[in-house]
A and B are shown apart, each in its own frame.
Chain A
Amino acid sequence: MTALFTLTRRELATFFVSFTGYVIIAAATFLVGLSFIVLLSKLGTDASPMPVTEMFYSTYFFWLLLLLAAPIITMRLFALEKSSGTFETLMTTPVRDLHVVLAKFVAAMLFYVVMWLPMLGCLALVQRYSTQPGGLDWGAVGSTYLGIILLGGLFLSLGCFASALTRSQMVAAMVTLVLGVTLFSLGFLADQIPATGHWPAQVLSRFALFQQMHDFARGVVDTRTIVVYLSLTVFFLFLTLRAVESRRWR
């Protein structure tokens, strides 16, 4: 347990000690800021009452950030340690493979949450100066963040897996991006299949990330979606663990 805590702390520290962590946060803040501008202009013109979080979500910056952040945060996790050789010193200490995987995932997750915090500032600003009735619903903000965290967990676990497969950070990032975009597009595929009763359409509709995130942003929390996201996250972490262990049976 000590090892897990020690490792998580170090992993998290590398984000904040190195320059990269701040660059990622700055880039994320910039994109959030852009969507904030769009949001403000909408607030000024649009009279229809729409939750602010939903407006935030409706700009494509949100997805850009989500799809790009995961590869950038996770590409370093295993690939860098493998290429620099520290993976060898790490794995020859009495730590469990599971602890290594968990520490890296948890650290990436915490950093990811920190990255999204500036958005909270934007929302608070809207709340403070909005004259519209019911401008900001904190319940919707909560469910939006829940969606961001669940979706982030899924994409980061994907990234962990990709990073554990290779010693090249570039390859890890590309694989994560491709897997993420594929997963994202699956939901749209469901619309293309006309017969709604068939199982492929039903399965695909469970992966309609765009639609599901939309629900979260409106304050709708669907437990089925939560289960799907959580189990996919666990599944990819399991694959990561197998990839880390693979050196023992390859």
Chain B
Amino acid sequence: MNNGTMIEVTGLTKRYAGKTALTDVSFTVARGEIVGLLGPNGAGKSTTMRILAAFLPATTGTVSIAGWDVFRDSEEVRRRIGYMPENNPLHHEMRVREYLKFRARLKGLTRARSRDRVDTVMEQCSLTEVGSRIIGQLSKGFKQRVGLADALVHEPELIILDEPTIGLDPHQIRAVRQLIKSLAGAHTVLISTHILPEAEMTCNRMLIMYEGRILAADTPENLQKLMASNGQIIAEIAAPEADLNELWAQLPEVEMFDVSPADGDYFRCALTPREGLDLRRQIFALVQERGWSLRELTRSRHTLEDIYVRVTRPDEEEN
């Protein structure tokens, strides 16, 4: 039927009483992709996910999942998604295996099939040894994995995870990331996070959201490239400070520069080239010509951190 696209969102707007949570959001996600929804708290990530999971209706706009309309064919959509909400709500009085079986049966798996699948996901999420423990008594890391196992148990085509690593320790975060990565290909995954490295590490593509809009959508590498064009060049050169200042002032390609003393005879020069030119070769030639010595010459790449801050706080960047 619809083989290429998993999620298609067009002109999605969501208004709560007196507050607009989403404004004209559109994006598509292809089958098998891992897409990160990135943005600060309150950007509209959870609202988007709730609408995708057929929990909340959209005010305007359409959302289709695997070709089914989220509002009209809600049941078909819910059959195809595994959704883990923010804060991972669980029935704390139930035992792990009992809970997963209950969830599998709710999602329409037969008795025999649910037994098989529960065993599989428990192994996949390393829950086997806590199968008969009460969920409320588990550590946060285990609880999170129970939530993940629940999202996976019926082998959904699309997995939607809202902040899956929030509140975990670094070791647990790595384990969860590994698990998410292992889902690529067989499943389409949409995860939301406000932590950059997470999206950087796990996702093929990122959607950056801010105040209910999507500001940028691209692969982590492309987003970096986009920003690297006006990256700074750092050169550490042993030369008289006045000469350096004069040299940079003369060069037309240098828009801004800053010379500060480093240790020994060296000075650290931070140069901002015009229009994203790469001046490294030129600088090396100039230094050689004058017989100075050069010990470092790098082009600083913007990390996703910078991109994130730039895209999400456009006004502050100007100051």
Residues of A within 8 A of B (CB): 2-3, 6-7, 10, 14, 17-18, 84-86, 88-96, 247-249
Contacts and interface: CB of A to CB of B under 8 A. Distances in A.
Nearest to A90: B106
A42 B76 CA distance: 63
A88 B106 contact: no
Given A10-B102, A88-B50, A92-B81, A247 B75 contact: no
Counting from the closest, the 10 A-B pairs by CB-CB distance are A85-B89, A6-B105, A94-B78, A94-B79, A86-B89, A92-B53, A92-B83, A88-B85, A93-B106, A94-B75
Interface stretch (B54-62, B232-240, B296-304): B54-62
Interface in B78-104: 78-79, 81, 83-87, 89-91, 93-94, 102-103
Contacts of A94: 75-76, 78-79, 107-108
Main SS of chain A's interface residues? helix
Contacts of A96: 75
A18 B94 CA distance: 10
A84 B105 contact: no
A95 B106 contact: yes
Interface string B6-21: 0000000000000000
Contacts of B55: 88, 91-92, 247
26 contacts: A2-B105, A2-B108, A3-B105, A3-B106, A3-B108, A6-B102, A6-B105, A6-B106, A7-B106, A17-B94, A18-B93, A84-B89, A85-B85, A85-B86, A86-B89, A86-B90, A88-B50, A88-B83, A88-B85, A89-B85, A89-B90, A92-B53, A92-B85, A94-B108, A247-B56, A247-B57
A153 B198 CA distance: 51
A218 B86 CA distance: 55
Interface residues on B, range: 20 to 34
Nearest to B106: A93
- Most B C-beta atoms less than 10 A away, residue of A14, A88, A247, A248: A88
- Most B C-beta atoms less than 10 A away, residue of A89, A92, A93, A95: A92
Interface string B39-70: 00000000000100111110000000000000
B150 interface: yes
A92 B82 CA distance: 8
A93 B148 CA distance: 14
Given A14-B93, A17-B93, A84-B89, A92 B54 contact: yes
A233 B51 CA distance: 33
Contacts of B83: 88-89, 92
A96 to B, nearest CB: 8
B91 A86 contact: yes
B95 to A, nearest CB: 10
A86 B91 CA distance: 7
Contacts of A17: 93-94
A93 B103 contact: yes
Contacts of A86: 89-91
B56 A93 contact: no
A88 B89 contact: yes
Contacts of A247: 55-57
Contacts of B56: 247-248
